[in-house]
Amino acid sequence: MPLPHFLALLAVIIVAAAATVWLAASSGVSLAVLALVVLIAAGVVRLMTRVE
């Protein structure tokens, strides 16, 4: 992957994370609840992509 594409990917990820935190904070969701939802979603995705 060329360096400009990699840096653009990092920038998009950082902006998406900032937008998610901003939207959650502005709607009144606490960061602890947001973190718990993200951890559960990551666990579900991990279990669904598991190859046995």
Residues in Cβ contact with 31 at an 8 Å cutoff, skipping those fewer than 6 apart: 21, 24, 25
Give the residue ranges of the chain where pLDDT is below 70. Answer: none
Report yes or no on 21 lying in a domain: no
pTM for this model (two decimals): 0.66
Distance CA(29)–CA(18), nearest Å, equals 15
Q: What does the alpha-carbon distance between residue 32 and residue 47 come to, in Å, rounded to a whole number?
A: 23
pLDDT score of 41: 95
Q: Which pLDDT does position 13 carry in this prediction?
A: 96
pLDDT at 12: 97
User: Is position 45 within any domain?
Assistant: yes
Does 40 fall in a domain? yes
Let me know if residue 8 belongs to a domain: no
Domain extent at residue 45: 28-52
The confidence score (pLDDT) of residue 27 equals 92
- pLDDT given at position 52: 72
**Domain assignment present for 2:** no
Q: What is the pLDDT of residue 44?
A: 95
